[in-house]
Amino acid sequence: MRTKEAIRSFAHSLNIDLIGFTDALPLRADAASFQTWLEAGMQGGMHWLERRPLARHDPADLLEGAQTVICVAVSYHAAHQSAPHAARYAYGRDYHVVLADKLAQVLAFLRQADPDIQAKICVDTSPLAEKPLAVKAGLGWQGRNTLLINDCFGSWLCLGELIIDRAYAPDSPAQKRCGSCRACIEACPTGAIRTDGSLDAVRCLSYISSYDDEEPCDLHGTILGCDICQSVCPFNRRPLSCREEAFLQPNPLTGSTAQKLIALNQEAYEAMRRDTAFCRLPYARFRRNLVRAGLMPPSA
């Protein structure tokens, strides 16, 4: 087996900014809170969250014999990013692809020393409670906006997990540091961030831009995602910068002007959105969001 120190060193060589270890035991308290959230209907149209909700908080449901969850995070923040029409996470390549590749390399590194190790790679593609596990592994805490926040990197982080059937000593959980700050709550234009630490997804602009075609709201100039609650967070004022080249270069859509986006036909859009966060945004919704973001007149 590789040592934790060797795994950390290898992960950092892959531009993985944060890595932590935790056990694979069920997260019972988080599962109960999640069930209450579902029963309140705050998931909106994300009906897949309702399937096997208890399994979401039990890593062993995804990998038989699971003992450890290796949690990783990669920063996507860069001061030079200038794509005003999309949230920062959508600026470069799709993070699901990037982190899955990095975790595959970590797994290959583990198998060089332990060929029989069994593992499961998760990058928001499996029913797994990523943020509670990242907190438990010491990567950061869940802020009032429900995002994972780290002292050094703020909340500009993409998360991924590697579940393995080997036991490693767990790291210490992170402690909440939001204190009495309510900046994100007060800045949210739709009141999606609740005072009890939960998010009403139906009101969230990020959710609306991705899933809701009926809500006639103002997307505040952004056609995919929303960074308002992150932009006002004190921990995001001077975060350490992204090192990952895949996130530092604009993709074909974030590198385009509003005029070029408006002129795209469906064929061109489909070609440009591959391996980007826009791959989850159908063309019809993309066009609708251009209107809701104030970038295109309704009649165009």
- Residues labelled as active-site residues: 124
* Alpha carbons 221 and 84: distance in angstroms, whole number: 7
How far apart are alpha carbons 140 and 176 in whole angstroms? 8
Are 73 and 8 in contact by the 8 Å Cβ rule? The answer is: no
Segments in the chain forming alpha helices (H): 4-13, 28-39, 95-113, 130-136, 183-187, 205-211, 228-231, 245-248, 258-263, 266-272, 283-292
CB 179, CB 189: distance < 8 Å: no
Cα-Cα end-to-end distance for the chain: 60
Crossing angle of helices 4-13 and 95-113, rounded to 10°: 140
List, in order, residues 6 or more apart from 263 with CB less than 8 Å away.
none
- Phi and psi at 211, nearest 5°, equal -130, -20
Q: How far, in Å, are 20, 97, 117 from residue 7 at the CA level?
A: 10, 21, 14
> What whole-number distance in Å separates Cα of residue 17 and Cα of residue 75?
7
